[in-house]
Amino acid sequence: MPNIKSAKKRVKQTIKKAENNTVLKSSMRTAVKNVEKAVKANDKETAKKNLQVAAKRIDKALTGGVIKQNKASREKSRLTKLTNAME
């Protein structure tokens, strides 16, 4: 454990940030899985709704610095292709 006050504060901030990153990444992954599940079940309406939710969550993770721009673009593109292929 750190002895210096500022080092103690950094430890607290790091723990809080790590928890926040985990929440963002987890919710993003869940949203992506929901889209994939709807596509697999061949449910167009649910897939489109879930795609919108997934895009929001991906953007949120990007804004939070959890994932990088290329990964965000790649995920959104891949999910959009999956849902559009259903039609």
- The conformation of residue 43, written as its DSSP 8-state character, comes to -
Q: Reply yes or no on whether the pLDDT at 86 is more than 90.
A: no
Global pTM value: 0.88
Encode burial over 35-73: b for 16+ CB neighbours within 10 A, e otherwise: bbebbeeeeeebbeebbeebbebbebbbeeebbeeeebe
CATH number of residue 27's parent domain: 1.20.58.110
Domains of the chain: total: 1
pLDDT confidence of residue 44: 93
Cβ neighbours of 24 (radius 10 Å)? 20
Average pLDDT, the chain: 95
* Mean pLDDT across 79-86: 94
Domain span holding position 26: 5-85
**How far is it, in rounded angstroms, from Cα 56 to Cα 52?**
6
